[in-house]
Structure 1
Amino acid sequence: MATARCERLPSADHEMDDWLFLSSESAGPEVLEVSRDVQEAADRSKLRSKLVSAWNSVKYGWTLKKKSKFSRSSPVILLGKSYELKDQGERELFRSSFVSLLWLTYRRGFPPLAGSSLTSDSGWGCVLRTGQMLLAHGLLLHLMPPDWTWSVTHHAVKDDMDLESRSVHRGQSFQEGPHKRCRKLSLGSLLDRPMEATHRRAVSWFADLPTAPFGIHQLVELGKSSGKKAGDWYGPSIAAHILQKAVAASVVLPNLVVYVAQDCTVYVADVKKLCERPPPQSWKSVIILVPVRLGGQDLNPAYITCVKKLLTLQCCIGIIGGKPKHSLFFVGFQDDNLLYLDPHYCQPTVDITKENFPLESFHCKYPRKMSVSRMDPSCTIGFYAKCQKDFESLCTIVTEALSTSTETYPMFIFAEGHSQEHERSNTPTNNITYIQRKDELRRVDTSNSMDEFVLL
């Protein structure tokens, strides 16, 4: 849990809150006497769901109106970009960039998940939500122009760093009153509308509906092949494989693939084979996911510098990980504190079938932070390469960043050639995983390791 809390997302007009609506809701007059029992059971289920949501808001600090504080004397790193907070313009850029990240949290009130009566993922779906955020950031890099930011800023309020309570981006100005908002749009904002349509479409892909390609329903369905079901806790490695299957099964991203590293090794030939396509377009963009375990119960101190170094790379799209029931999405750092997005705030499901559905609940205004030493060692690290040249550059700069952990085994490595997966698939392994480290092949028994990681 973070060492400091931040203020919960202020409710929009008529937005439900975890502490309101704790009583049962009536569904109208009864037609049949038996429907009374059905209605009472449904009311109890709704009440239970709301109580669980309220408890999780208490447990993870969303009911505390306390913000994380940031130093103006040192830069803050956010997914490969550095911001000097002592400069007002830089502070505004940091705020704009952070707010533009997609924030995907627990939701309640969505259609029941297949094979269960669950209509909320509160209390168990945090790893899937952080996986969604990792994928979502990769998609924004894939679909949007460089340095794109979310230009709808009528949600702006005074932030954690004592910024003024105003925000003007691309000529837009907004004023908020108790019951109304007025907005002036410039020519620049009108030109942004195609990008806003793409942004809205990307958000809809993560909707809480069975038809959404990357929504909670689809991810739970794909998790069945890994022995998981709705209500289970999903480890960061399983989440990586689920995301790979979700992108492969979708038709919305024909020019993007996901590669999951095996045994802490990125096999370059396998990535190239996955990305190659017939001319004239000879390369697909790729998201690389690397599941690792960086120690036993606690993070190995030797890897702390390496984790921070990776977050300074623009090809890094974030890190997911955390203890069971408490997974976070790490997006940057300042000094020895990691910045993260927290999925543990349970919000009402948004009906994305409505035209111009509200986007505010998909964006978080306040970054949270925690000491990097408290990071759980189970995690999945994400990278994005738009083209073959970017992938080759990624291999070089990531390898250089990994060299900061030379006093121990590297967090992971890049290896030329193909993996041995097709050979191992025909041979029983009895929970034995093979790890390649500096041309040495060794065997490690993982039958008792947490999740599905190998201890380094």
Structure 2
Amino acid sequence: MFIKKIIYSSVNFFFDKFMYKLVDDDVVMSQKNYKSDISPEFLTDFRDIILFTYRYNFQDILSIFMEPERTSLYRKLNSNPTTDVGWGCMIRVIQMSISHGIRIYLRRMKCDDISVEKIINNFQDSRNSIFSIHNMVFKAYYNLGISPFSWIGPTTSSVIADILINENRDAIDNYKISSIVLKDGIIYKNITEKHFLGIEPECCTFIWLCTKLGARNFNIGAYKKSILLIMKQVPQFACIAGGHNNFNRALLVVGASMNYLYCLDPHTKILPLFSKKNFNREEFVQREPTKISWEDLNPSLSFVFACSGLSDFEEMCFNLRQINSDLFEAMECKNLYADVSFETDSGFLVL
């Protein structure tokens, strides 16, 4: 208890010191402070983040399944849409999480030899693209038993991303990628250490730390300090895959101020399918951030980090524990009987 009080006091000290310079209009994003959300510097950096949105007229999703399963699914679902409007927003958020995490990692490693177009091409609306919506639906069905076109939440989406990344570790040009998903929000040392021992030291490793803020009553005030400090002080932090609490819409949170969270929103555009032949960088730009109040943040979310090696991961864990040791819990090993169940009901409060 005494140690917890010391940690809590130190967090408050660092937060108060940080917030002394942060007025209501100041925005924090990727460890940078901006004077306002309309400042040219902020808007330039925000517009540089890759946006993925709803698409239409792409190859039918069920085409990725083999016969006779494809016909069986078509009969069962009585649908074979060529658009993800209405059901694919969280998948688009996870696509943004992957692309943004890769770019955060490359900047930290001072690597600038991969173009934005090369990264985006891995997300074409085609069964042949590694991180396409087609492959995410396919993995959700075969690995998790989730019916195609189901609405899924942050944890389920993070697990799907984890599977695809670990099956395609050479996907991003000459750089290796890997992934660890922490479905119950606890950092298990035995699992993470084993993972890092089995990969290249400079591999970009995604950490999907899934959680539901508040076991019973959600009070965002209890977490605002922690989230602001993570955005400001944890270099491995990329984004939060989450959503709006009242409108059942998935969002990618990339920045924050004292009053608002700043998001990329997959609902802002509905465009024709994306393929390599029709690449247009402007289609992947959100000109103005979607702003939501802290109170509107849905408590079910996934913190997304991008680490380089075990020591970088351990540094991240140390910083997270200093910020909030209750929110970011670490254990030596995982209970074999503890696991997270996946849900696909119609509400947004879904892991």
| Interval of TM-score (by shorter of Structure 1 and Structure 2) | 0.7 to 0.9
Within 5 Å, give how 1:113-152 maps onto structure 2.
Answer: 113-114=61-62, 115=70, 116-144=79-107
For 1:103 and 1:147, the matched residues in 2 are separated by 22
Of Structure 1 and Structure 2, the greater helix share is in: 2
Instruction: Decide whether aligned partners of structure 1 residues 287 and 235 sit closer, same or farther in structure 2, where only a CA change above 3 A counts.
Output: same
The residue number in structure 2 matching 1:77 is: 28
Q: Which has the larger radius of gyration?
A: 1
For 2:237 and 2:150, the matched residues in 1 are separated by 28
**3-state SS of 2:147 partner:** coil
Same amino acid, percent of matched pairs: 23
**3-state SS of 2:61 partner:** coil
Within 5 Å, give how 1:48-447 maps onto structure 2.
Answer: 74-85=25-36, 91-114=39-62, 115=70, 116-144=79-107, 194-195=113-114, 198-224=115-141, 225-250=143-168, 251-253=170-172, 255-277=176-198, 281-282=200-201, 284-295=203-214, 296=216, 298-312=218-232, 313-322=234-243, 323=245, 325-354=248-277, 357-403=279-325, 410-415=326-331, 417-421=332-336, 424=337
AA aligned opposite 1:369: K
Q: Please say which of residues 212-221 and 251-260 is displaced more in the overlay.
A: 251-260
**3-state SS of 2:161 partner:** helix
Instruction: Decide whether aligned partners of structure 1 residues 106 and 299 sit closer, same or farther in structure 2, where only a CA change above 3 A counts.
Output: farther
Q: CA RMSD in A?
A: 3.0
Instruction: Decide whether aligned partners of structure 1 residues 136 and 303 sit closer, same or farther in structure 2, where only a CA change above 3 A counts.
Output: same
For 2:118 and 2:253, the matched residues in 1 are separated by 24
Instruction: Decide whether aligned partners of structure 1 residues 216 and 325 sit closer, same or farther in structure 2, where only a CA change above 3 A counts.
Output: farther
For 2:201 and 2:210, the matched residues in 1 are separated by 28
**3-state SS of 1:393 partner:** helix
Instruction: Decide whether aligned partners of structure 1 residues 244 and 376 sit closer, same or farther in structure 2, where only a CA change above 3 A counts.
Output: same
For 1:92 and 1:205, the matched residues in 2 are separated by 30
For 1:145 and 1:288, the matched residues in 2 are separated by 16
C-alpha distance after superposition, 1:384-443 (max 9, x if no partner):
11233321210111111214xxxxxx223122x33233xx2xxxxxxx759xxxxxxxxx
Structure number with greater CO (CA < 8 Å, separation at least 6) is 2
Query: Which blocks of at least 5 consecutive residues in structure 2 are unaligned?
Result: 1-21, 63-69, 71-78
Displacement of 1:221: 0.5
Displacement of 1:383: 1.1
8 Å Cα contact 1:108-1:346 kept in structure 2 = no
8 Å Cα contact 1:257-1:275 kept in structure 2 = no
Displacement of 1:262: 3.9
Structure 2 length-normalised TM: 0.77
8 Å Cα contact 1:350-1:357 kept in structure 2 = no
Instruction: Decide whether aligned partners of structure 1 residues 325 and 206 sit closer, same or farther in structure 2, where only a CA change above 3 A counts.
Output: farther
Instruction: Decide whether aligned partners of structure 1 residues 146 and 74 sit closer, same or farther in structure 2, where only a CA change above 3 A counts.
Output: farther
Displacement of 1:339: 0.6
8 Å Cα contact 1:337-1:370 kept in structure 2 = yes
Structure 1 length-normalised TM: 0.60
Displacement of 1:343: 0.8
8 Å Cα contact 2:240-2:252 kept in structure 1 = yes
**3-state SS of 2:149 partner:** coil
**3-state SS of 1:205 partner:** helix
For 2:218 and 2:198, the matched residues in 1 are separated by 42
Instruction: Decide whether aligned partners of structure 1 residues 317 and 309 sit closer, same or farther in structure 2, where only a CA change above 3 A counts.
Output: same
Displacement of 1:272: 2.1
For 1:339 and 1:412, the matched residues in 2 are separated by 23
For 2:334 and 2:252, the matched residues in 1 are separated by 29
Query: Which blocks of at least 5 consecutive residues in structure 1 are unaligned?
Result: 1-70, 149-191, 404-409, 425-431, 435-445
8 Å Cα contact 2:100-2:238 kept in structure 1 = yes
Count of equivalent residues: 304
**3-state SS of 2:123 partner:** coil
8 Å Cα contact 2:171-2:177 kept in structure 1 = no
The residue number in structure 2 matching 1:5 is: none
